[in-house]
Amino acid sequence: MFDKHAVGAYRAKDEKKHLVGYVPMELSKLLDYFLMASNESKLFVTASGKRKREVYLIVPGTYQTMTNDFGQAKISNDELEKISLR
């Protein structure tokens, strides 16, 4: 299986970024669109457990998004609520 919206999770160490895994596939499309909507969009991940091997290495965690665009924030929040209700 291929996820064209895969979003990598990186750890910054010694001025370098190291890929540690990916955002879960259920969130990757939404978060990819969120990040591509504006150069001001930011995504932060706080890992909450060990990585899991699924289609690729998943980083379980809390995902925090930041943007200066209120409209974009509202859309993202609404979409995340839809995903959480499934």
Q: Cα–Cα–Cα angle for 34, 36, 37, nearest 5°?
A: 65
For residue 86, pLDDT over 70 is answered with: no
% of the chain surpassing 70 pLDDT: 95
pLDDT tens-digit series, residues 26-52: 889 889 998 998 888 998 888 888 988
Contact, 31 vs 67, CB < 8 A?
Answer: no
Instruction: State the CB neighbour count (10 A cutoff) for residue 50.
Output: 8
What is residue 40's DSSP assignment? T
Could you tell me the residue ranges of all domains in the chain?
A: 8-85
Burial 9-45 (b: 16+ CB within 10 A, else e): beeeeeeeeeeebbbbbebbbbbbebbeeeeebebeb
